[in-house]
Amino acid sequence: MPATYVTEAELRSALGIGALYSSAVVEECCQAAENIVKNKLWFNDQSVVALEGFGTYGKIFLPSTDKQFYVGQTVTVEDVRQHFNGNKTLTAVNGHSLTFDLNQSVTEPYHQVVPYGRVYAATNIDYETLPEVNLASLMIAVDIWQARQASNAGGISPDFQPSPYRMGNTLMARVRGLLADHLAPGGQVG
């Protein structure tokens, strides 16, 4: 699926590379930039830490569901198990679990999900339409592209020596001001 925060055409134009490189190579940088930015934004989501299936019902366990989810709401479950993934309508919400119909009979004993999956509900903002998110994604895509093309085009290390590594912790620092109003509070710890 093509990146939507920064498009291939936008990156080609910003870099002035025209049709010199294949779509797959350019799109890879766009998608990587989108993934990096998306992981810092505030969505209506939670980690899925465990699951169980019984009959035609599935249950996923979260750190907390405190007033975030409600019965009848449609959520999207990702990176759990094939028959748990997808859009699900909630039939029960408890303190740390969500229950929904799986449309098939399963037997899955309670077990931890490693690495954690995600459950998403509707978010009140469409980040694809925000110029600051698009610009931050473009800036990161340009940095990724330039790091791939010229390994010696890096930053300056703390001892003022040229560094070939530009994909360090300063990558997000350069765009944090653009994204400040939309950063997930839980991502700010540490």
- Sorted by where each starts, the structural domains of the chain and their CATH numbers stand as 8-42+124-188 (no CATH), 45-120 (2.40.30.20)
pLDDT digits (tens, 9 = 90+) for 32-62: 999 999 989 999 999 999 999 999 999 999 9
For residue 14, what pLDDT is reported? 95
Query: Could you tell me which residues are beta bridge partners of residue 78?
Result: 118
Which of 101, 80, 82 lies closest to 90, judged by CA?
Answer: 101
Residue 8 has pLDDT above 70, yes or no: yes
Which pLDDT does position 162 carry in this prediction? 54
Based on DSSP, count helices (H) and strands (E) in the chain, helices before strands: 5, 4
In single-letter form, the type of residue at position 135 comes to L
pLDDT at residue number 152: 56
pLDDT (tens digit, 9 = 90+) per residue, 68-92? 999 999 999 999 988 899 999 999 9
Residue 2 has pLDDT above 80, yes or no: no
Quote the crossing angle between the two packed helices 23-38 and 131-149, to the nearest 10°: 130
For residue 176, the model assigns a pLDDT of 84
Answer whether 176's CB lies under 8 Å from 41's CB: no
Q: Is the pTM of this model over 0.85?
A: no
Question: pLDDT digits over 114-156, tens only?
Answer: 999 999 999 889 999 999 999 999 999 998 898 887 655 555 5
Q: What confidence score (pLDDT) does residue 174 get?
A: 80
- Tell me what the pLDDT averaged over the chain comes to: 87
